[in-house]
């Protein structure tokens, strides 16, 4: 059984120096870090992403850039795209080792799989600070997407060590954590707690290398 734990960045929520927080997260060895900084210009994004990429390299953590295909190509990173951008650019992504896509329905998931996505992220599952005021889609929604495709699906949105087992019980291949890792006092400890819950409940060590 493959279990994946991804960390997603959001520097606007970070309560300390962002690169210091990145180092703490990477040192805890999630299976991937997705650099998601939509508020930055292309130039600023490239500059910060390069620094984050070096941190990930130090700990041998796979690194993806969200949305900015050019930046990902220039830094030899992997790519993660929202569904709309993936549909517009799927035929230009042949050079990427891993292609992640965010989807919001089983229909999108099926089509994305057919066009060559490596894995999918679906959310938001629980209430979360980065989606304040928006009703979470819930576990039933995640289960529907999981069972519509053969490629790995990860749940995102409000995931912590308290509810990650509920995410995995849908059949998901893993979970993504964003806002909680940006604001919690101990991101290393939180990742270790999530790992502990996964190992305790599912009796396996997370090993996503086959998909990374």
| DSSP class per residue in the chain | ---EEEEE--GGG-SS-HHHHHHHHHHT--SEEEE--TTS-HHHHHHHHHHHHHHHHHTT--EEEES-HHHHHHTT-EEEEEHHHHHHHGGG-TT-S-EEEEESSHHHHHHHHHTT-SEEEEE--S--GGGTTSPP-HHHHHHHHHTT-SS-EEEESS--TTTHHHHHTTT-SEEEE-HHHHHSS-HHHHHHHHHHHHHHHH------GGG-
Rounded percentage of the chain residues whose pLDDT exceeds 90? 81
Higher pLDDT, 30 or 131: 30
pLDDT of res. 3:
83
For the chain, the structural domain boundaries read 4-202
Which CATH class name applies to 4-202? alpha beta
pLDDT of res. 211:
39
- pTM attached to this predicted model: 0.92
pLDDT at 207 over 50: no
pLDDT of res. 196:
83
Average pLDDT on 50-62 reads: 98
pLDDT in tens, 107-159: 999 999 999 999 999 998 998 766 666 788 999 999 999 999 999 999 999 99
pLDDT of res. 197:
81
pLDDT in tens, 67-96: 999 999 999 999 999 999 999 999 999 999
pLDDT of res. 2:
64
Average pLDDT on 179-200 reads: 87
pLDDT at 202 over 90: no
pLDDT at 203 over 70: no
């Amino acid at each position: 059984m493959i279990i994946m734990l991804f960390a997603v960045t959001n520097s606007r929520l970070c309560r300390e120096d962002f690169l210091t927080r990145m180092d703490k997260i990477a040192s805890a060895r999630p299976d991937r870090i997705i650099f998601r900084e939509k508020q930055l210009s292309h130039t600023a994004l490239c500059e910060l992403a390069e620094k984050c990429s070096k941190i990930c390299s130090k700990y041998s953590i796979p690194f993806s850039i969200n949305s900015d295909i050019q930046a990902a190509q220039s830094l030899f990173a992997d790519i993660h795209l929202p569904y709309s951008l993936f549909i517009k650019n799927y035929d230009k992504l042949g050079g990427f080792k891993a292609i992640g896509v965010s989807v919001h329905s089983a229909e999108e998931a099926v089509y994305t799989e057919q066009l060559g996505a490596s894995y999918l992220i679906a959310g938001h599952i629980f209430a979360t600070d980065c989606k304040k005021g928006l009703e979470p889609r819930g576990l039933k929604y995640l289960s529907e997407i999981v069972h519509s495709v053969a490629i790995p699906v990860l749940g995102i949105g409000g995931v912590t060590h308290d509810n990650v087992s509920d995410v995995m019980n849908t059949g998901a291949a893993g979970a993504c954590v964003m806002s909680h890792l940006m604001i919690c006092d101990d991101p290393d400890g939180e990742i270790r707690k999530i790992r502990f819950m996964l190992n305790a409940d599912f009796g396996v060590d997370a090993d996503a290398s086959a998909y990374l």
